Structure 1
């Protein structure tokens, strides 16, 4: 691969002088007038500027202004997307996983700092690539009420949230209600497929959508009670969600139709306790119970009528306990996680099946974090055990998961960091179900109960240059997935089946990327530019696929008194896994916000000057099937969205530290078609 040089240095962080950093965590700090960014062994700590806090109506808006590396934060659709194939993004408030509603009702005055962890330790478990931990002060008196109302002016799309928090003595009572709705009618789907029949002839199919609709209605309410003092916090949260998707996806093609709908109900009980023992020791415990009931229907009539219904029930329990001792030479963390899940999905109609699965997870971990002279280190070891049973199939997967991070300052403004980790990848539960779903007249999706988790080994090397107005980072990353779960196509009687297998598969990739930030005018104008080259390898006993892609983007934020202007653009995320080559569509948007006392008015323009932007694109490169799929959305083109945020508080006084949480299980294990 060609050598990648530093791009023009266009970036920096501005942040506010704040509390001392724990020994062993700070590597190098950069201070601008009234602001500070601290580089840590596992990421960075950001102290937002006064302008950033005052111009942000909610947590999504604030995070989008920080331009966190490797992430796309959409303040309109309220989403946070990892622009990589490393894993998911986890947002926390005071160390506990937060919900969308928590971010929308976040009190900007209470925010102390934001820890962006792009190198999560052994505690966070599998599948987590980035952690955003927002540290806030705890209110001890008064009340805080507000509303965050988002409505698209050019399409039927809205996200409305109202909330209230009331403090009395050591107690806080909170209530939050949100309504999310959507009715998009402008989708355009096109698929060209070539099937190689057993006779050797090619059979070509064009699936072109003539009419489409995507509807969704989601209600959620959560009640919160917390009791806290100077050395302990207890919180309980009860939430309930009702997700209704009538005719969730309706598509009319030439000669046939495709339809699906679903209804989901899910109550969640979340209990959390934290206790400080003296100045250095603490114990944290968390338990979450979830129930999910799902009723869904799907049908299509390509090559004949095919319809099925699914009634599903999911019960899950997740617990965690963590002990921490902040000693002088290092910080010691010990903990355990335990999870239990039971899924019972009954398929009726043309997909007649009964699928019951039990799974459990047990994880122990220990970690040391500190310094030896100028060398900062973080080392840990986790041991995980996963058990799975479904009918006659059962399996137990045991894995030792070491992790080591070393960081060293080469000069005042230059540091180098290396990270090594062994983790595990667990397939979606739906993919291990003993169920088959017909996709269309030619294809069937088949679950495989015999696939197991697999080991993931990664190496990460970074060189970072930081000055008060400029930050530039060059990163090289390599990941190897041994015996990973990759898709496999096979054919029988001129019908084509897609499944997943472990076998002797190897799925790996590496990338080189540069991230650059420049504060062109301190506290008024910030610019960001990033880009990199990715190389993917997918090897099995039946195919060998490689792919090279470029990914990049840029952003700008301007703070002009009560006005805030931002611009963002990226080319999406291009990747390859198994026999699928995917393109996460490009995004570009402009925003303007105006602060009027306790009201913030914002206007967002998404995909301006484009009437029908691409939403996703996929190519299948199987020896039996070659397929090109693209989908455009007129609803997302020239999309204008208006946001009104109203916030009223009285008698609020704060002290450190409030803890909020929302660990929610959403995986139902239902195998679905498209």
Structure 2
């Protein structure tokens, strides 16, 4: 009883007044190519005009089994890490991950040797060079020039809910060359979720139908697997080359049976989905030092997505078992993507200039088997020109950038094509206030193009009352943002405070109408606008140096959504926090997250609330881990609510996930290592899409 009270008190502190603390004081990094700036000597973070730089201590590296564990142990302000679910958030939003400035995945971060990580850069105001991302975490790695490294880890739940995570990595170095192979396998089986639906359909004749759906049987299975091989050649003073080949295999399957009560009538239903996707990927990167602080960069990424998406919905009368509706939406996808980027960078003592071009190509083929078989081809091309200039004037740093994007989309079957040009400027003002604090004002903008699902011309039936069809006339839209942030740090305390405003005129939103047959018609349209206001508070405190650290984020969120035929307002709170206790070879972490209610279109979504306890013990090269999910209180699953002609609410949860215990291990070893270094400065991603079969 006493231990439960202690745990509850720590979690209440994290969610009510979360705090953070920095690692040990930074040391100079000879690999840094950033502008020379005045750094705060008394604090363990280097606050630059466009990023915060954190140096992991030797002790933090020693007790970290991989790159993700190192990020968690560094406890950076505003950064929340769920080591069990393999998620990273910055002020509640998903950042872009990079290794040596090249975009990467969380699986490749997990495969890193912590001993090779020189520093971590947190960029909360990305410029036009990064595109439309809320934040960037850039991990700078020094590659050794001899020896090797090996890491294997596994985690398995001790319950009927079969949860497992397994990964491994091997790196071999010789001179300027490094060879890598890493893989990741994660599976969820015997997962029995339950959904509670309440639906109201406003029909075209003015009548409404109210239904309550309750699952009597739920089964889900998920699998994520990846293998990646890479070769890099590094001469930091002259040339860096990186090339890799990877293969991803993702699979999700859901099956539900239940009862539907529509007014006074009872019926049974079956809802099943099946979504396997295979994605081979090829990546090539090179940067060349021209001398006089000039660099040329080339980056190329190609991928092919091969997938299927099946959705079956069947309803029948009870007890007669006569079919009321039977819908079977099946899509087979073959989508290819190619991304190319060329960039030039020039640096001076107090300024930096960057200019580049990007080209993104997508060729998509979707074969629909919904009634009649049909094939839908879409071609998308996006050409982007961007430039950015940064200059420091004493304690003030100014950064300005501009991006011009030409977007072309073509639908082969109907001969329809669309062309648009988007102009997106970016500006940042940074003021070093001294004493470990700075003030930043950022104006940003970026464009968003319609997805495959939103533009598909194929009509898919969802149930007895609804059909779905994309809108090929959708236009890209621009999002404008304004952010004011303040950061302050001293050796045992740090805090980041920010206020954000964002406006998206013409945002692509859900739209509902009626077909000539009287069914409800779901599609998308460019809306009047979408606006949100965020206030983020992210403190961190070292309660006892070397023993207890508390770190977290609290965010207030206000949404305003003006769609084609609706106006919705929503307020919400997001909170996330971690308390970490270390003693000798033991580390105890308590993590908790309270999700916000996010509004987009007519749909308000709250993802699951989550909390866990994690205890690890390190002995030489081995680490042993035990995790306890949702140890106290009730488990709250996903909740979704939609308003309009179709009004419904859904609550999805899985009781067995609560109070699940898992055990795991981590083993790492390196040999004959001698440190070197490489910086990569560009990034591209081909990003193939897949259309999913329509369903609830």
Matching of residue 343 in structure 1 with residue 352 in structure 2: no
Partner of 1:275: 288
Matching of residue 132 in structure 1 with residue 137 in structure 2: yes
Specify which structure has the higher proportion of strand.
1
SS in 2 for 1:64: helix
Separation in 2, partners of 1:414, 1:142: 42
Question: Contact conserved, 1:265 with 1:293, CA < 8 A, in 2?
Answer: yes
Moved more, 172-181 or 353-362: 172-181
Matching of residue 395 in structure 1 with residue 418 in structure 2: yes
SS in 1 for 2:657: coil
The equivalences for 1:334-483 within 5 A come to 334-350=355-371, 352-390=373-411, 391-483=414-506
Partner of 2:257: 252
Matching of residue 319 in structure 1 with residue 340 in structure 2: yes
Shift of 1:117: 1.0
Deviations 1:75-129 (A, max 9, x none): 12222346656xx421110011112331121011001110011111111123x11
SS in 1 for 2:667: strand
Deviations 1:437-460 (A, max 9, x none): 222222222211111210111100
30 and 350 in structure 1: CA distance in 2 versus 1, 3 angstrom threshold:
farther
Partner of 2:127: 121
Separation in 1, partners of 2:362, 2:647: 38
SS in 2 for 1:114: strand
SS in 2 for 1:430: helix
Matching of residue 19 in structure 1 with residue 28 in structure 2: yes
Alpha-carbon RMSD across the aligned residues, in angstroms, is 2.3
500 and 663 in structure 1: CA distance in 2 versus 1, 3 angstrom threshold:
same
Given candidates 41, 60, 73, the residue that maps to 2:68 is 60
TM-score w.r.t. structure 1 length?
A: 0.92
Separation in 1, partners of 2:518, 2:275: 32
Moved more, 478-487 or 490-499: 490-499
79 and 144 in structure 1: CA distance in 2 versus 1, 3 angstrom threshold:
same
Separation in 2, partners of 1:616, 1:206: 18
SS in 2 for 1:415: strand
The equivalences for 1:69-84 within 5 A come to 69=77, 71-81=79-89, 84=92
Question: Contact conserved, 2:155 with 2:165, CA < 8 A, in 1?
Answer: yes
Moved more, 327-336 or 421-430: 421-430
Partner of 1:150: 155
Moved more, 339-348 or 226-235: 226-235
Question: Contact conserved, 1:222 with 1:238, CA < 8 A, in 2?
Answer: yes
Shift of 1:313: 0.5
Separation in 1, partners of 2:89, 2:127: 20
Separation in 2, partners of 1:25, 1:440: 62
Given candidates 538, 559, 562, the residue that maps to 1:536 is 559
Matching of residue 497 in structure 1 with residue 510 in structure 2: no
SS in 2 for 1:211: strand
Shift of 1:602: 1.4
Shift of 1:620: 0.9
Shift of 1:518: 1.1
Matching of residue 237 in structure 1 with residue 244 in structure 2: yes
Moved more, 448-457 or 423-432: 423-432
Partner of 1:99: 105
SS in 1 for 2:135: strand
662 and 599 in structure 1: CA distance in 2 versus 1, 3 angstrom threshold:
farther
Shift of 1:281: 1.7
Separation in 1, partners of 2:215, 2:141: 48
Partner of 2:192: 186
Question: Contact conserved, 2:341 with 2:684, CA < 8 A, in 1?
Answer: no
Which stretches in structure 1 are left out of the alignment for 5+ residues? 1-6
Partner of 2:9: none
Partner of 1:213: 219
Shift of 1:227: 2.1
Matching of residue 616 in structure 1 with residue 638 in structure 2: yes
SS in 2 for 1:269: strand
Separation in 1, partners of 2:646, 2:17: 43
222 and 22 in structure 1: CA distance in 2 versus 1, 3 angstrom threshold:
closer
Partner of 1:297: 310
Partner of 1:640: 661
218 and 551 in structure 1: CA distance in 2 versus 1, 3 angstrom threshold:
closer
Deviations 1:288-346 (A, max 9, x none): 11112113332111332111322211111111122211212201111111111100010
Question: Contact conserved, 2:502 with 2:533, CA < 8 A, in 1?
Answer: yes
Partner of 2:179: 173
Shift of 1:468: 1.9
When the two structures are aligned, how many residues end up with a matched partner? 657
78 and 180 in structure 1: CA distance in 2 versus 1, 3 angstrom threshold:
same
Shift of 1:8: 5.8
96 and 468 in structure 1: CA distance in 2 versus 1, 3 angstrom threshold:
same
Shift of 1:28: 4.9
Moved more, 595-604 or 289-298: 289-298
SS in 1 for 2:59: helix
Question: Contact conserved, 1:55 with 1:593, CA < 8 A, in 2?
Answer: no
Matching of residue 513 in structure 1 with residue 513 in structure 2: no
Partner of 2:263: none
Separation in 1, partners of 2:106, 2:551: 26
